Structure 1
């Protein structure tokens, strides 16, 4: 039987002899049947178990009939915002609208709503009052309990409370969605499906387990949210995690079951070898195709999960810290299938996952006893039980590059340089430099200040410097001239202007401007976002400096690209504010040159800037005094 896309119209469904689908899957993304898309995995997995599924991609949320393409499903609606949180998809960290949506036809923006799972859920409820609605995907997963919402600068309730949905399948979802489907198929009411790991449900009473602070308490005190987040973070492990409940007053409780167990290698192989079409639905050809497919179409997922533990990353809450892998055979079969595709030119773009070179759990106990709740595998230093071993990954890469028809195998999903350093053998780094880098190796040191790196959950800067030396030696051995391109981040909690200037000086000493510069983006359910909102480190309860004003964030970002003429005034302001006017001048160590109208010396500009600051403070005090007088006259209103 030839492969085909799942039905996207009622006519296609009826051509298969199906008059009522078991499930209708609604997605904020265009329909791409590739295992890099969560919608493809879940729908193909359900299909493999005999369930029929209809796909509604990017329905017009302004029209109720847009979700009635297939009528009412027999078992449930499944709802996802897509591969990205819809707010991150729509807005930059400066809260400006993005110009392109890579998951929509032709890159067109505006084909999904803000807060998509909430909007879709309510849209369904307007028409289908009693049909079960199950939320999934990264947006629902990271908003499954009360969370800080950067775009409204406020605490938000669990999306379960605002979407009209019955359940959330959080995390990667394969185990939980099959258990949910089986329970519904047996006639169990959705309100009684409270026993599935990896799900969140509503209850009138709190079950046994951990009672988190109520939503009312979280909204009233930031300290309460920091404490609640710490408890949640300590219960992200499927082996040791506890049931947690969050009170919403008279509306009852939102209850989170422990995460689903990680997939075995056999299960991973099965998931990634389902009969995917490997591309977007042909209905998008005339609309300009789907931009996101370009980079991932010939990329291979070899693992999932990450024990890296970066505080600004949501992986711990979504995929988890236990690494799961596919077998070599499964990966090789996927690579061999590429040769049959007309667009394949012999280049595999990536073989990896969240971290490419993680091919096994960090230590032997994790697959049976879980991860440590009170320590990290790599931070602040590698754990003594860490198994830093690249031999399996090396063997896999060798097999791939020796396949007939394969010209080059790249690694682009990123490697952990501290993990590479921990490996006593230089073999992996040598072969990486010789065969798997396309001129530039991208890694993520993020910063150079150890103070900032501590709050990021990243290793000390000297670890990165050690890696650079090792990579240089590997380059010399390969006879190639290749470079490390670092990902750098500005405005992370803990980073003052002085630390930002220190990072700018490092950029100066590198001799080139970094292409990838990212302002810290406070996305839901990361430890760094908790720090951003509360001003506290949830690990210790200690206060953390947080750059929040738009002006300071702009200055920190501008410092990383100080050569850009458009950034001149911001860079100058940052240098003066941090007391680093020595970096304004003509010396080779200076970041910018003086620029002063009628030849005014830069020292006068410094004095003018300082005078303006004093005047600004004086004016502020005067305005405050006037407000106090007015307040007294108005009776304190």
Structure 2
């Protein structure tokens, strides 16, 4: 490693020549001692990360830094530095080319607080699960420290937090609008999306001596500019001032920006702030299969850094250590999810050869017991682009692949994914390959006989008792705002799943995910969901409350109270009481929820649901059925003591 000019330029990824056991035994440097052991006097780049250092491709810091290392750069990681002082930032000295900053695999506020704005008890991305090791709004805090230390050093921000906060955005945790994170952080460049192409182009330009304020042509990046620095042609979004004065302008900004998020047809966007304008260049082109292979074939150690051994390691590794990412991107475009905005709507897949190489590698890791926990992506059965047109035309502007009805050009074949699963389960040392990432059952149903064949093999070989799927809701109103299909599709899939398992002689169950308090869900819709859960004889131990995370369509609806594409008003459950009611209705069989459920049913005028939700009749001492009279005026109600309520926990949604 010499810090010399790399051999690949303009965002083209060089094919990796070594796997995890190809001679790269050391972790990336985290201290001056690590640098000296490599004979380095200085770094080219310092990566400041809000997560603990886990050398695995599912962790952004490891992926980006290994890629830069492979291209010939000297890279060090300051993982979860103490932001109260300078020492952790300066331990490896001032880097030669620049500082990269990422808050971690989650937005730092989402990682800290639940939907009810309670502090989470643990942080899976910190050693021992300890919380409090990263600051609130970590990207901003780290950038402030770096600017104080090194002045005008090239400063590049990226990752989920930066990517989804790049425009004026609503922040749920402060219940306020915030400016672009690029403007507030005073960074030079913001990388949005996954970032491999962008970081290589930026690194190459800096290595060639190009000033950072002259790097203005890298797709998938944003920069701040004065009046003279705007691109020649662009689409202007409502400004910070206009959005601050009008929620309708916020909705319009979201509408326009979402239509331009395409690498082929997207145009530059400009959003003016007080003194400067945010300029977003169109998204980066998706990686090719060969480039995806190169990224995931890099020599990751696939475990946490040894400095965390005394803490018992980093809990987040357990979820991915024996899992394989087969692809990225999602054309499902659920309104509450920002994955399609971050990874794109065009699927980027790895080759079977690369995936099988990783599976064989996993069988040699300490602790492997024969089980591959997952082979998938954001949506497991979206392993190829939705149609043949996307490669040349991009994703359709203003149209979705599955909503409100499936596109006639949609390719719903599951043949490639099925063949991949067959190959993986045949690898020596593999006992079982599971599919645990999201599965779109409506997409599977579209595949006809091909989908049924896939489901049969899925049930026979890749399910262990339970298959998790996400109908999300039962109300047609809410599902429309979620951009999800009718619940009738879930009923069809339930019947097919039951029939397939019956034929196989297996007792396997579906575990549905439901979400409460989504925009569009009032009390009547929450009761519909409770009725459907009762029909399924299902009561989740944890309820997933909708969290308005930056960058999603549903968050735009939450803040503005309107659908930005139709401008029709959308009911939004905002108060803590409304959110508790909806969660209690879904968890109606929990004894601590019964009084609240009954009161909610009374207010909704749906006391006809009592027998449906409480078929055993055990409604608690304070419960009255619809057949019972209220005390007449002047009569005393029977004395009762309200039972102590226990609040159910909030699940942490994937982001």
1:69 aligns with 2:91: yes
Question: Is the alpha carbon distance of 1:68 and 1:588 closer, same or farther for their aligned partners in structure 2, counting shifts above 3 Å?
Answer: closer
TM-score relative to the length of structure 2: 0.90
Task: Answer whether contact 1:572 1:592 (CA < 8 A) is retained.
Answer: no
Cα deviations by residue, 1:439-480 (Å, 9 ceiling, x for unpaired):
000000000111110000000111111111111121122211
Which 4+ stretches in 1 moved above 3 angstroms?
A: 583-592, 596-603, 605-608
Cα deviations by residue, 1:16-64 (Å, 9 ceiling, x for unpaired):
1111100000101000000011111100000011001011000011112
Counterpart residue number, 2:600: 574
**Residue 196 of structure 1 is aligned with which of 201, 215, 218?**
218
Question: Is the alpha carbon distance of 1:602 and 1:180 closer, same or farther for their aligned partners in structure 2, counting shifts above 3 Å?
Answer: farther
Task: Answer whether contact 1:215 1:246 (CA < 8 A) is retained.
Answer: yes
Of 335-344 and 274-283, deviating more is: 335-344
Deviation at 1:592, TM superposition (A): 6.4
Deviation at 1:583, TM superposition (A): 3.2
Cα deviations by residue, 1:487-545 (Å, 9 ceiling, x for unpaired):
00011111110110111111111113124521111000100000000001011111111
RMSD of the TM alignment (CA)? 1.9
Of 513-522 and 187-196, deviating more is: 513-522
Task: Answer whether contact 2:47 2:99 (CA < 8 A) is retained.
Answer: yes
Distance 1:280 1:126 in 2: 30
Distance 2:98 2:130 in 1: 29
Deviation at 1:606, TM superposition (A): 11
Deviation at 1:338, TM superposition (A): 1.4
* Partner SS state of residue 280, structure 1: coil
Q: How do 1:185-584 and structure 2 match up within 5 A?
A: 185-205=207-227, 206-207=230-231, 208-249=233-274, 251-425=275-449, 426-584=452-610
Task: Answer whether contact 2:164 2:551 (CA < 8 A) is retained.
Answer: yes
Distance 1:157 1:557 in 2: 32
Cα deviations by residue, 1:112-142 (Å, 9 ceiling, x for unpaired):
0010001101011111101111001100000
* Partner SS state of residue 521, structure 2: coil
Number of aligned positions between the proteins: 608
Task: Answer whether contact 2:608 2:626 (CA < 8 A) is retained.
Answer: no
Deviation at 1:316, TM superposition (A): 2.2
Distance 2:350 2:591 in 1: 48
Question: Is the alpha carbon distance of 1:343 and 1:585 closer, same or farther for their aligned partners in structure 2, counting shifts above 3 Å?
Answer: closer
Segments of 5+ residues of structure 1 without an aligned counterpart are 612-637
* Partner SS state of residue 445, structure 1: strand
Counterpart residue number, 1:94: 116
TM-score relative to the length of structure 1: 0.93
Which has the bigger relative contact order, CA under 8 A and spacing at least 6? 2
Distance 1:155 1:116 in 2: 17
Distance 1:104 1:606 in 2: 59
Task: Answer whether contact 1:495 1:545 (CA < 8 A) is retained.
Answer: yes
Cα deviations by residue, 1:382-409 (Å, 9 ceiling, x for unpaired):
1000000000001000011111110000
* Partner SS state of residue 82, structure 1: coil
Segments of 5+ residues of structure 2 without an aligned counterpart are 1-22, 638-655
Task: Answer whether contact 1:28 1:80 (CA < 8 A) is retained.
Answer: yes
